Amino acid sequence: MVSRPSPRERLLDATITSLRRHGVQGTGIAELLHTSGAARQSIYQHFPGGKAELVAAATRRAGEFIVR
C-alpha cells in the first residue's frame, strides 16, 4: 500500500505548481487547499507565517530540486 504524502508535502507541491503557473500574486490559499486536499488549519500548523512562509518554503524546495 502506498501512503499518501503528508498535508505539509501536499501543500508544498501544490504551491510549487501554482507558482510556476500563476506567480506569487496569482497563487491563492483557496486554490492551494483545493489542489492539495489539505485542511485550512494545516497551512497555519505547518506554516505559521501563512502564505508568505509557505511560498518561501516552496521556493527553497524548488531550489533544492534544481541543485540536485
Residue 7 domain-assigned?
Answer: no
Residue 26 domain-assigned?
Answer: yes
Residue 5 domain-assigned?
Answer: no
- Write out pLDDT tens, residues 15-40: 999 999 999 999 999 999 999 999 99
What backbone phi and psi angles, to 5 degrees, belong to 6? Answer: -65, 160
Query: Given pLDDT bands bounded at 50, 70 and 90, which one contains residue 63?
Result: confident
Residue 38 domain-assigned?
Answer: yes
Residue 36 domain-assigned?
Answer: yes
Can you give the C-alpha Rg of the chain in angstroms?
12
pTM confidence score: 0.88
Domain that residue 57 falls in: 21-67
